[in-house]
Amino acid sequence: MAGIEEFANLTRKVRSDEMNLAAYEDQFNQISDEILRSRFPQNSSDKDLSPPLQRLQIPKEFENSDDDQSIRKYLVPAIGVVSLVAENILSHPFIVIRRQCQVNPNLKRYHLQPITIIPKVFRLNQIQGISTLWKGLGSCLLIRGVSLAFEDVIHKMTMWPKEVNNKTTTTDFLKHLVLKGFSIALVLPFSAASLVETVQSDIASDKPGLLDVFKEGFYRINPWNLHSRTLPIWALVGPAVGFGLTKYTFALIVNGITSRIVRYRLDVAQSKGSDKIKDEEEIHEEVKLYSSLVAMITSEVLFYPFETVLHRLQLQGTRTIIDNFDNGYAVVPIITKYDGFKDCYQSILKNEGLSGLYKGFGALVLQIAAHIAVIKIAKWVIVQLNDAFSSKPSNKIVQYYNLNRDHPSNDTTISNSLSSLEAPDVDIIES
């Protein structure tokens, strides 16, 4: 009976003083074995003894794993959606500003830094309103939709792949580039018309309708349009397709390299235990997000001069009046006479210098900064929501050893404090 009294005293002491968990478990196991051997000698062999009381150790990152997975099913792709919205909608005001700087050959202030653009934007907003920075948004979204529609139609007619990955063969990749080239060529007249809507001044031009971009696009294709001062569409197809395919291929290469680097760093961080364990879907989405962002930034910066040349060729002969970003309140007509891509490029270098190819570059810097800021804020909000939903107590169950095998085992929930562990009732059978 001494063993039973010692067990009772030890249990009361644990409840009152909250002894160290490791010491409590060792003493409890020793006393439990002694009681078993004294009261049940027929079952004194080690093979017949059931496991003593154990507290289940569950790593923090695995607690509520079912709930976390259900939350991540909706929260993980949310960052990608935010990035897509930032790229196609929230970045449009910066696109309007940089395009108006790119197409103006008489611009004295090149706005290579963001700080020179901000005062002009405030002045423009005071005169024309905030809507002037969102002009042409509808036509830009329509052009993106038309481009995807052309790609889908070509894919169904030729079975050329619309997307590529690391398992794509060289032949399929070349077919994919041909598909992209046809799509760029088909959408070119409409993208040129959309460019006009994004740069023309609201106070000097009539606001276009939603579908006017298609009317102007077909007008550019019309072969009987002999009195137009615009460059013929066949003169723009070569530069546009070459520019689009080169920029797209470069972005794919940067995306592939960046994805491997980001994946390697995530794997190293998790192997060292410096980061929470993530499932494959979460890792894939994070790698895709960062690699796409890096590819977008590098391609936009590297191909900015060629974009300037292409925009001037598309705008030539349209008699467009744009806002003057030298002062922020006047307007200026665009009158140019380039013979082609090479002549435009050489004219800019001769008359405006090398920095003339980077007019409005400060707007691109603001666009990239805003894009990154939106992603960071969205990620922070999603992480907070994830932590909030994942902070509830675990539902894992641990069973205690019952000395009376005729009754079911007691159970309790895991707790972070030792005092919450309830000692089991010990049924002693008098002989």
Residue 428 resides in a domain = no
360 and 406 inside one domain = no
Residue 291 resides in a domain = yes
148 and 81 inside one domain = yes
291 and 376 inside one domain = yes
Query: How high is the pLDDT of residue 241?
Result: 96
End-to-end CA distance of the chain: 12
Summarised one tens digit per residue, pLDDT across range 325-368 is 998 888 999 999 999 999 999 999 999 999 999 999 999 999 99
Residue 426 resides in a domain = no
Q: Which two tokens stand for residue 262?
A: 């980001």
Residue 142 resides in a domain = yes
Q: Which segments of the chain have a pLDDT < 50?
A: 43-64, 227, 393-431
Report CA-CA distances (Å) from 164 to 133, 155, 161, 177, 290.
Answer: 35, 13, 7, 10, 18
74 and 211 inside one domain = yes
Q: Which residues contact 41 (CB under 8 A, 6 or more apart)?
A: none
149 and 260 inside one domain = yes
51 and 123 inside one domain = no
187 and 53 inside one domain = no
Report CA-CA distances (Å) from 122 to 64, 129, 190.
Answer: 50, 9, 31
**Residue span of the structural domain in which 277 resides:** 65-390
Query: Is 412 in a helix, a strand, or coil?
Result: strand
Question: Based on the number of CB atoms within 10 Å of its own CB, is 126 exposed (0-12), middle (13-18) or buried (19 or more)?
Answer: exposed
29 and 163 inside one domain = no
Helix, strand, coil in percent for the chain, rounding step 5 = 65, 5, 30
370-374 CB contacts, 8 Å cutoff, 24+ apart: 370/86, 370/90, 370/91, 370/94, 371/83, 371/86, 371/87, 371/90, 371/91, 371/293, 371/296, 372/293, 374/82, 374/83, 374/86, 374/90
53 and 19 inside one domain = yes
Residue 137 resides in a domain = yes
Asked if 325 contacts 111 with a C-beta cutoff of 8 angstroms, the reply is: yes
193 and 238 inside one domain = yes
Residue 430 resides in a domain = no
Pair type for strands 331-333 and 321-323? antiparallel
Residue 192 resides in a domain = yes
Query: Is 344 in a helix, a strand, or coil?
Result: helix
What's the domain count of the chain?
2
Q: How far apart are CA 100 and CA 190, in angstroms?
A: 18
For residues 381, 386, 389, 395, the Cα torsion angle rounded to the nearest 10 degrees is -170
Q: CATH number, domain at 286?
A: 1.50.40.10
Q: How far apart are CA 48 and CA 242, in angstroms?
A: 79
Q: Which two tokens stand for residue 211?
A: 């579908």
Query: How high is the pLDDT of residue 10?
Result: 58
293 and 238 inside one domain = yes
Query: Is 192 in a helix, a strand, or coil?
Result: helix
Residue 425 resides in a domain = no
Report CA-CA distances (Å) from 282 to 265, 267, 286, 382.
Answer: 14, 12, 6, 13
Q: How far apart are CA 190 and CA 217, in angstroms?
A: 4
Torsion angles phi and psi, residue 18, rounded to 5: 50, 70
Query: How high is the pLDDT of residue 46?
Result: 47
40 and 95 inside one domain = no
